[in-house]
Structure 1
Amino acid sequence: MPATQSRSAAASRSAGPSTSWDDVRLAPVVLVQGPESLLAERAVDALVDLARERDPQVEKIALEGASYQAGSLSVATSPSLFGEAKIVVVGGAEAATEELVADVTAYVPVADPGTTVVVVHGGGVRGKRMLDAIRASGAPVVLAEAIKKDSDKVAFVTAEFRRARRRIDASGVRALVEALGTDLRELAAACGQLVTDTEGTVTEQVVDRYYGGRVEATGFRVADAAVAGSTGEAVALLRHALATGADPVPLVAALAMKLRALAKVGAARGRGSASAKDLGMAPWQVDRARRELAGWTPEGLATAISAVAQADAEVKGAGRDPVFAVERAVLTIARSHGR
């Protein structure tokens, strides 16, 4: 085996276990890595809580990657006058200075077992030498991966309610993801509010009472009506949304998301069975798309997708009238139903 492959294999064998943000454990060095800042913050909070459970007098010290100065880590991890335990959180390591990279790389092999150093890295290649050193040491790696797929958002909402020991039904989850699914932090806050302010099972009607006026929710209602071929309803919903301040860009995005779901499920049906996981969708989304596809031909779906692609370009600057562009797309989608 070539030397480079041998070194790579050795590093892989010694790399620490990867865990999710909600399954952390204390260690002398912990790497929290990924672009989802909310999940990274939760992972750090959980680590701090674990450190305080172990020692209520633990001292938390915060360092910042972009402004880090040489020697700061050594000072932060050195024994305190009264011997308190420490947890050092190095935030923003994706913007690390060269001094931070050097200091962390040097610290990892001699890490103090009584101190926890948490390095939070949002992604990218900056600080690669530091990240490689942490992984090669066997330190745990906590993943804060971006939640982009609708199926992942559904799983996130379901888990939020499960942790709170509350129940939300499938229609409630769907409504919440449709209303606030573009921003995970906002989605998490909405889950918290519904847990606090409501009782019993959270349903679509409950979610609609709190968040039904959101632009995202309005966009999905427009898309639902257009895909169902309900031209009058779709145009009325669209005009109401625009009159109350909705921006054409997210409205077109909702149309595109709806049609992508139909196209995915339609293509999978042609290839044979495909699971919701394979499609990156929630089971209820697949079931709904299958029902909606009953009124669509491949030619009609292609026409609708082309109309949305044109509208997407026009609302983002290629056209002079974004409102006209989105209305034309809605009309084309509705009229393509059944053709």
Structure 2
Amino acid sequence: MAARQAVEATWHRAAPAPVVLVSGPEAVLASRAVERIVAAMRKRGEIEITRLDAAGYSRGQLQAATSPSLFAEPGLVIVEAVEAMSDDFLQDSLAYVAGPDPECVVVLLHGGGVRGKKLLDTLRKGNAPEYTCPAIKKDADLVDFAAGEFERAGRPTGARAVRALVDAIGSDVAEIAAACAQLISDVSGPIDEQVVARYYGTRVNATGFAVADAAIAGKGGEAIALVRHALSTGTDPVPLVAALASKLRTLIKVGAARGRRLDPTKDLGIQPWQVDRARRELQRWDAESLALAVQAVAQADAEIKGASRAPGFALERAVRTVASLASGR
């Protein structure tokens, strides 16, 4: 076990070696690991890249791809779908890793599962470097991924802008990566919340949280305008009311934590920037007004999901109620 820990690292540390294992289900991270290896090899000069599909592999392909006589430059062989490998690939790869060509780099991409366990065990016992690509599903992990994209590009971005981007794009890692790349490429100055809104402000999640922010701040006119624009462009009212409910839950949790001497970040898992914002927003709210707001949103949620024939009206009424409670009217 100690030997494996010594050679296993996350994808962003990927580097060339005679045999490299890139493991885990997150395809975007796996492709980034390969990109790092390619970039490191190209710093040394020209390389020749060969791609193999382990699932449709035929006997002898690996040997042919790694044969020194085929390369005028150092060779890189990228083997995809190792988790679905054919029996021929298993036999050939086991033979190859027993004595790999030191002048060639072979990268094995394994997306998870038990197929090929014998090969994986052999690589790990032999201390082949392994770079992991765990699934990115949790909200906090998505935010960390986006922040990392900006940092690695030398464009560190504020927490609120990163949060706004993830809210706008959703949980698709590939789309988040593409959005980060677009902002890095297109925006020459600071990447802030306004920039994110300009590029992605019409997306459902961004609109939902914009509605919630305006309503919680008592800006009824702005919140209603956002709601009407969203509905007129075909946005489902469900995520809009869900964003409002989520915002109220955060306020309640942060407010309750203060009375119970809890740390909202450590004890409740709320991001520090959310805590800071909630504390500022709570200056407009007390326990009674929050309770009334929750009741209004719960009623709208029920009506939107079938209890009413006018879901848009139900949403507007809830937004007006929340905004009026925040403004003290």
Q: Normalising by structure 1, what TM-score?
A: 0.76
When residues 288 and 53 of structure 1 are mapped into structure 2, their CA distance, relative to the original with a 3 A threshold, is same
Q: Which moved more, 1:233-242 or 1:256-265?
A: 256-265
In structure 1, the residue matched to 2:291 is 300
The residue identity in structure 2 corresponding to 1:300 is A
In structure 2, the residue matched to 1:65 is 54
Q: Which moved more, 1:300-309 or 1:160-169?
A: 300-309
In structure 1, the residue matched to 2:16 is 26
Distance 1:159 1:116 in 2: 27
1:331 aligns with 2:318: yes
Q: Normalising by structure 2, what TM-score?
A: 0.78
Distance 1:74 1:302 in 2: 68
The residue identity in structure 1 corresponding to 2:107 is V
1:261-300 correspondence runs (5 A): 261-262=250-251, 265=254, 272-274=261-263, 276=265, 280-292=269-281, 295=285, 297=287, 300=291
Distance 2:177 2:270 in 1: 20
1:79 is aligned, of 61, 68, 85, to 68
The residue identity in structure 2 corresponding to 1:19 is A
When residues 85 and 245 of structure 1 are mapped into structure 2, their CA distance, relative to the original with a 3 A threshold, is same
1:133-152 correspondence runs (5 A): 133-152=122-141
> What is the CA-CA distance between 1:31 and the residue it aligns to?
1.4
Deviations, residues 221-258 of structure 1 (Å, cap 9, x unaligned): 22334555767755553332122122345445545654
1:188-267 correspondence runs (5 A): 188-227=177-216, 234=223, 236-248=225-237, 250-251=239-240, 254-255=243-244, 257-258=246-247, 261-262=250-251, 265=254
SS class of match (2:17): coil
Distance 1:214 1:275 in 2: 29
Structure 2 unaligned spans of 5+: none
Q: State the percentage of identical aligned residues.
A: 51
In structure 2, the residue matched to 1:113 is 102
> What count of residue pairs does the alignment treat as equivalent?
323
1:168–1:201 Cα contact (<8 Å) kept: yes
2:254–2:264 Cα contact (<8 Å) kept: no
2:19–2:128 Cα contact (<8 Å) kept: yes
> What is the CA-CA distance between 1:27 and the residue it aligns to?
1.3
Distance 2:309 2:132 in 1: 39
> What is the CA-CA distance between 1:137 and the residue it aligns to?
1.9
Q: Which moved more, 1:116-125 or 1:299-308?
A: 299-308
SS class of match (1:26): coil
When residues 83 and 38 of structure 1 are mapped into structure 2, their CA distance, relative to the original with a 3 A threshold, is same
Distance 2:64 2:308 in 1: 59
The residue identity in structure 1 corresponding to 2:192 is T
1:182-193 correspondence runs (5 A): 182-193=171-182
